[in-house]
Amino acid sequence: MKTTLFYRFYKQKLAFFGLLIFCLISLCGIYAPLFTSGMPLLIVYKTKLYFPLFSHLFYKGYFSKSIDLFFNLLMFFLPLFFLIQFCLKKNLRKIAYLTTIFLFLFIFSFILKGAVKNPAHLPSEEWYHTSALLPNKTKALIVGQLLQKEKRNRDLISLLETKGYSYQRDTMDPKKKLWLQVQQNHVSLIVFPFIKLYHWEENAYGQQEINQILPWYHTTRLNRKDLVAGLIFGIRPCLMTGIASIALALLLGITFGTISGYFGKNIDLCCARFFEIWEAAPTFFILLLITSLVHSKSIFLVIFILGIFTWTRFAQFIRAEVLKQKALPYVTAAHNIGFSHFKIMTSEILPNALFSIITLIPFAMIGAISQEAGLSFLGLGEENSSSWGVLMDEARHAFPLESYLLWPPACLLTCMLVSIALIGDGIRNCLDPKFRIE
Amino acid sequence: MGHYLFKRLLLLPLTLCIILLLNFAILNLAPGEPTTQMDLSATGEAVGTQKSSSTNDPYILFRQHYGLHLPIFINRWPLIKKSKLLQALSQLHTQKKDSSELNYSHYQNLKRGWRDRGKYIPKLLFEVLEGDLDLPLKIEALNLLVNSGIRCGYQSSFLTNKQKLENQKISKNNLFLSTQSLLKTADQNAFETNLHALKQWAEANQLLEPYSFSQKIHILFTETRFFCYFSKVLRLDFGTLRNDSNKKVTHEVFKRMKYSIVLCAFPLLISFVLCQFFGILMAYFSNRWIDHGLSIFFLVLYALPIFVVCPFLIEKIALHHHFFFSKIPIPLSGFHSSDEIYHSLLSYQRLKDISLHILLPLLASLYHCLAVQSRISKTAFLEALSQDYIKTAKAKGLKTSYILYNYVGRNAGITIITSLTTSIGVLLSGSLIIETLFGIDGFGKFFYSGVLNRDYHVILFSTLLGSFFSVTGYLLGDICYASLDPRVRFT
């Protein structure tokens, strides 16, 4: 009978279900532009293939938040990581991972500086008069964008007519419309994004009256941006906070914990007192303080502060583990052979101590995601971000007229947190030697 | 154990001191203008306004009240060198720093900073004024001298005679000095006359004597923000509110503390009782439907964030609905009814009124604690139930209830109590959102509005109180742990 870790995890149906939900949500979040964006994915114009969305993926003018650009790049690198994990041999894997990570950071730094120019650069306002002079690619991109706008207007109007509400949203210049109708004949195939046809940062022109009539998945937020697009793109800051702040906390916690546990006596005494003092500082209060003092609000500040204040938990845990391990004879043997302190810490003690910290990580992630959503809810996170806390904050302001906006982000946040908690429970049961698989 | 307890009790004030120091450093070293005032709107968000930073009296008074006119840790201003002064004068005059334009806020900061420094270097300023310099720079130096001499008097409802005399002297000085400042376009004659008058004034007030060594040491340590604040703290004087200087911070906080304590202590007690019940249920019937159902239920409760539950309770349950089997409408906000109604009620009616009002907030602060404690107690009971001595006791024929009470309960209780005491600090910070949304005038809301107003005294005292509760919680947990488990020995 197989007794590997993954098999033990897989056998617990609930935990596996949690892992599935989490993977589903994070894939949705990483590949979010495919599900909801303002450009079609594929357009065949004059028998040539063009990809409007992919041309705009790294363009800073379209995706203005750097988190979006990060995840857009990750969209392409994720299959690469999977390939490395499952197809390469073990020796090559480390080098392959390192090279891909360096490549990723290199390309990301270029994108951040604004290396990608506007793919659909228009020379003047009334461009459709001289449209014959534009290159085919620009025409294809623009035609695709306008066709998408037409389609979503048509869908909205037909939906509202079934509810008995007549709605006019005709904002296009008639000459432009004529030009579009001519160009439409050149288009043989167009593929729209799968779920919604709005980009989360663009104005969806919703109104309060029609919001009351429509079902929740067609409504707009308080600032008139699309709700579902905001929800899907809101997975990105959530994931980023969960992983990045815990990574920072782990880094600090493991370093300080190992140092404190390994070199006993005086250093241990000072470090243990330092952990106590840092832990006793009330995190939420100091969080509020720092975010309100520093005037530039950004998500990286939030991640930094969350990481800075959760490392003590890991440090105390690791310190206890390292103290236990240090008493075992293999450490004395390693010392006698002549290994340096650093080598003993990293290759002998840490692999055994880290094993039990895996159970702490999911619950720490839940705490970090909750706190980030809480900070955005209070208005101290990044402004105009798609984070779920910001959505819930807007809904709270609209109480009680448009307060139905509160429930979709709340449900999604709860689903995410519950799935991570299920994974955490599953891992804890896996590693518990007394747990029996039925 | 007494020795360990003694060491921990010694450590308590040390921890609090270091936390206070940390907060003080963060507040003072952080960028941002202290006069930015943000208001708390009705829905609990932060709306910002900026007060004008000029030389008007309330602003100077504000700076003096908080000691912002002094340096933070040590005061080396009496030792400023002449070259530095000359450099500053040229920067102030030309409004340029290393040939790049200073923007407005930097220029204001520079002006303010040198105005504070000017108080300690009158002799140097006079040296500069009588030396060889261009006229514009000399005018700049004269204005600096005049502005740094202007002080704020004592402002309070009750002044002693000594303070009144001081105020008279200060106002005479201020009156004289305000006539002596010069425009930048003044000519040499006006400058000469003003300089002469100022020199006479300075000699009359004994400003030109150099500082003795002991005076310098005294200034070095005691005329700093650090010393100002901490000398007051050691006398347990935590300052007054920023907007209303008659109200003391400690008084305001303790006035609101009773609401927050009720919202924190009752959930703790209730969840302590309930979690043991649920824990035994889940552990005894482990891996059956009850266990799975309750586990999932508590998992969902654990993952629900509080700012989702509060609006849900307010909107879906409280709004337009009544309590079960009665016609009483569920109150939406507040700790008790409005003051007129509350004061006219008898004591048992008051109790009923309060309990109706805090039912929903209690629920909101209870659910998370209950979920966490139930999970922990389930683990504790499971571990105790799987021990060998339980099997022996069952084999001997003891009753199940006897085993559960005597053997399992005592051994599992240790873990449960320690986890309960360590969650005191968490509860206090969680009460912030509940108070804001339910409109209860409690400690969390007060602290939050203090943070938005940048009321330094309130912030420092509140963080101190919060960490005091956390540290006490940990200490209590350790004491309980040591006293309940005879195997634990602290070396």
Average of per-residue pLDDT values in chain A: 82
Q: Among A144-158, A214-228, A419-433, whose mean pLDDT is lowest?
A: A214-228
Whether the CB-CB separation of A271 and A260 falls below 8 Å is answered with yes
Q: Which residues contact B417 (CB under 8 A, 6 or more apart)?
A: B477, B480, B481, B484
More confident residue, B52 or A234: A234
Q: ∠ CA B150-B153-B159 to the nearest 5 degrees?
A: 165
Q: Which of B43, B305, B470 sits opposite A373 (nearest CB)?
A: B305
B447/A285 touch (CB, cutoff 8 Å), yes or no:
yes
Q: Which of A280, A378, A399 sits opposite B19 (nearest CB)?
A: A280
Question: In this complex, is the C-beta atom of B464 within 8 Å of any C-beta atom belonging to chain A?
Answer: no
SS3 A96: helix
Whether residue A244 is predicted with pLDDT greater than 80 in this model: the reply is yes
Cβ contacts of A371 on chain B, cutoff 8 Å: none
Element holding B181 (H helix, E strand): none
The residue of B43, B307, B378, B461 whose CB has the most chain A CBs within 10 angstroms, and thus the best one to mutate to test that interface, is: B307
Q: What are phi and psi of B240, to 5 degrees?
A: -120, 170
Neighbours of B124 (CB within 10 A): 18
Closest CA to B313 of B392, B272, B366, B264: B366
Question: In this complex, is the C-beta atom of B429 within 8 Å of any C-beta atom belonging to chain A?
Answer: yes
Chain A residue with minimum CA distance to B38: A292
ipTM of the complex: 0.77
pLDDT values of chain B reduced to their tens digit, one per residue, 491 residues: 677 778 778 878 887 888 888 878 777 776 555 555 444 444 444 455 444 444 556 666 667 767 777 777 777 777 788 888 888 888 777 777 666 777 777 777 777 778 778 778 877 778 877 777 777 778 878 887 777 777 777 766 667 888 888 888 888 888 887 777 777 777 788 888 888 888 888 887 777 777 788 888 887 778 788 888 888 888 887 877 777 767 888 888 888 888 888 888 888 889 888 988 898 888 888 888 888 889 889 988 888 888 888 878 887 777 777 776 667 777 777 777 777 777 887 888 888 888 888 888 888 888 888 988 888 888 888 888 888 888 899 899 988 888 888 888 878 887 888 788 777 767 777 777 888 888 888 888 888 888 777 777 888 888 888 878 877 887 787 787 777 777 766 54
pLDDT of amino acid A131: 66
Whether the CB-CB separation of B473 and B56 falls below 8 Å is answered with no
Element holding A44 (H helix, E strand): strand A42-45
Question: In this complex, is the C-beta atom of B283 within 8 Å of any C-beta atom belonging to chain A?
Answer: no
Element holding B59 (H helix, E strand): helix B57-66
Q: Which residues contact A175 (CB under 8 A, 6 or more apart)?
A: A128, A129
SS3 A179: helix
- B310-349 residues touching A, CB cutoff 8 A: 311-312, 315, 319
- pLDDT, one tens digit per residue, over A362-393 is 989 998 998 888 888 877 777 788 888 888 88
pLDDT of amino acid B32: 56
- B183 vs chain A: nearest CA distance in angstroms? 36
Q: How many CA atoms lie within 13 A of A29 on its CB side?
A: 24
B471/A281 touch (CB, cutoff 8 Å), yes or no:
no
Whether the CB-CB separation of B474 and A282 falls below 8 Å is answered with no
Q: What is the 3-state secondary structure (H, E, C) of B439-485?
A: CCCCHHHHHHHHHHHCCHHHHHHHHHHHHHHHHHHHHHHHHHHHHHC
Whether residue A338 is predicted with pLDDT greater than 60 in this model: the reply is yes
A400/B319 touch (CB, cutoff 8 Å), yes or no:
yes
pLDDT of amino acid B261: 85
Element holding A45 (H helix, E strand): strand A42-45
Q: What are phi and psi of B312, to 5 degrees?
A: -60, -45
Give the DSSP letter of residue A400.
T
Average confidence (pLDDT) over A416-438 = 80
Cα A397 to Cα B325: distance, rounded to the nearest angstrom: 33
Q: Which residue type sits at A353?
A: A
More confident residue, A237 or B475: A237
